[in-house]
Chains A and B, each alone.
Chain A
């Protein structure tokens, strides 16, 4: 951090602070109330995911991927199993693909709802948080119906899913979507168009597109800066190429392109796009066996694979090296939240301390995934 000169002061935010979204410690050098440097200290939630994976079999890695991004466990599972299937050259039945996309998109909605609600909470709006949690709860109920767990699912397996969908899941899910779509309008009226909220977020913490690209920021944070990049569209995995959906990008409607409001707004628009994908998937889902392609013993051939998928936080990549044994030689996870946090220092220089909280919230980081 260097020498503190003159009026400068070092302020410690975290590791236990409600606005740091987990256990993150920020060492902030301030000049009065203006931030001149931020140094994030990581590792409070380090659980040796990558080293641990080298000591368990391939199917036992899946519960550990759950715990990395615990707000979007389905998407974490999804990335791992897609990578494994590419390595083993398994073709899963069509129903499995549809189930995975339904689950992934539902979890994307749940994760974005939490991100937006907690962002409002950081800024000082308490009510939207409760409303968004109420609706997130209904998604978790659907997950509980499907696989028994509400947060850490272990639902997607290599070559299939652990359970088929419950009997009238389609009806329940359509019912939820019909209930949920009008709620988005309510959130917008309650929080998005609120003048106080716009004043706190518009023009604050601008990430220009070139800075975002050079730091490797992905997902809604990158799209908020106006870059149209979505792995689901540009490098389709599973059967995402069959669905029709748009990639919302920031427009800077209340301030500059790439400010906190744009990142918030992209997430809000993405929820509607997920609803659109869900409706298409629920309409077309075929019948079939979900365990058909499940291998008896997972022993991939020698080789390696890198597969990227779009998690709610961005580009989630898995690099898996196999040496032909039932235990992986190496599992590397490319975490989108980690790269998002890395640009915090550059983005928040020159802003006030209260704006740092707004910037950090808009990046939507999950510390379980950053530390792994």
Chain B
């Protein structure tokens, strides 16, 4: 019989202890409130300059972007990708390091590397991307990166890029080349008909 009442006492006592904690939090709702009204307010993103001598690291996971004028078509990012979501096609440029204005090809990157290849296709399927960031490290020209972070001034962060159509998530970065132009580039000196 005494155990019966001891049980009731225990239950009421421990419940009261718990309720006191929740009550204290409810009274301090200004201080303890952690809920964010998401579309109106957003959690501040941490500062990305992580110090030491690693400023060039891209410590961010967001939408992938390619500065296509810098790309030399070395395929290192394609090989690093574990899910094969980066696809690149290249054509050998007629003259190394020379501009081809009619297809918008620039011969040199901003760091002065002369391009030997023309990138005719550069697609990233963001619906396949696993955000592992492995593609950004091997890039010799630092032209593939996740937007925001150290590139924030040029490319502001974008992590809300949902689409209604899945095909819209396949990003095309290469400049548009018509089949005729492609043909002309692949066979630079077509035979003249007699």
Binding site for B on A (CB under 8 A): 56, 59-64, 66-67, 127, 134, 137, 141, 144-149, 152, 154, 162-167, 186, 189-191, 193-196
Q: What separation, in Å, do the CA atoms of A139 and B149 have in the docked complex?
A: 21
Question: Inside 8 A of A66's CB, which chain B residues have their CB?
Answer: 132
State whether A163 and B17 are in contact (beta carbons under 8 Å apart), knowing that A137-B34, A149-B61 are contacts in the complex.
no
Tell me the smallest distance from the CB of A225 to a CB of chain B, in Å. 26
Q: How far is the CB of B77 from chain A (nearest CB, A)?
A: 12
A152 x B21 contact (CB < 8 A): no
Q: Is B186 on the interface with A (CB-CB < 8 A)? A: no
Contact A154 B134 (CB under 8 A): yes
Question: CB distance B14 to A63 under 8 Å?
Answer: no
Q: CB distance A59 to B134 under 8 Å?
A: yes
Residue of B nearest to A168 (CB): B51
Find out whether the CB atom of B61 lies under 8 angstroms from the CB atom of A193: no
User: Of B52-60, B91-99, B164-172, which stretch is located at the interface?
Assistant: B52-60
Residue of B nearest to A60 (CB): B82
In the complex, residue of chain A having the shortest beta-carbon distance to the beta carbon of B59: A148
Whether, in the assembled complex, B120 has its beta carbon less than 8 Å from a beta carbon of chain A, the answer is: no
Q: Are A63 and B130 in contact (CB under 8 A)?
A: yes
Minimum CB distance partner of A66 in chain B? B132
Among B11, B13, B14, B130, the one with the most A-chain Cβ atoms within 10 Å of its Cβ is: B14
In whole angstroms, what is the CA distance A149 to B57 when docked?
14
Check: B46 CB closer than 8 A to any chain A CB. Answer: yes
A60 to B: closest C-beta gap in Å = 4
State the B residues within 8 Å of A (CB). Answer: 7, 10-11, 13-15, 17-18, 21-22, 34, 45-47, 50-52, 54, 57-61, 80-82, 130-134, 137, 146, 149
Q: Is the CB of A152 within 8 A of B131?
A: yes
What residues on A are CB-neighbors of B50 within 8 Å?
Answer: 145-146, 163-167
- Contacts A189-B21, A194-B14, A195-B15 given: A60-B34 contact, CB under 8 Å? no
State the Cβ distance, A144 to closest chain B Cβ, in Å.
6
Q: Cα distance A193–B21 when bound, in Å?
A: 13
A231 to chain B: closest CB distance in Å?
A: 27
The chain B residue sitting closest to A52, CB to CB, is B82
Across the interface, do A164 and B14 meet the contact criterion of CB distance under 8 Å?
no
Which of A56, A137, A162, A195 has the largest number of chain B CB atoms within 10 A? A195
Residues of B within 8 A of A164 (CB): 50-52, 54
Q: Taking CB as reference atom, which chain B residue is nearest A194?
A: B14
Residues of B with C-beta under 8 A to A167: 50-52
Contact yes or no, A64 B46, CB < 8 A: no
User: How distant is A58 from chain B, measured CB to nearest CB, in Å?
Assistant: 11
Would you mind naming 24 contact pairs between A and B with Cβ atoms under 8 Å apart?
A60-B81, A61-B82, A62-B132, A63-B134, A64-B82, A67-B130, A127-B18, A127-B22, A145-B47, A148-B60, A148-B146, A154-B133, A163-B50, A163-B59, A164-B51, A165-B50, A166-B50, A186-B21, A190-B21, A194-B14, A194-B18, A195-B7, A195-B15, A196-B15
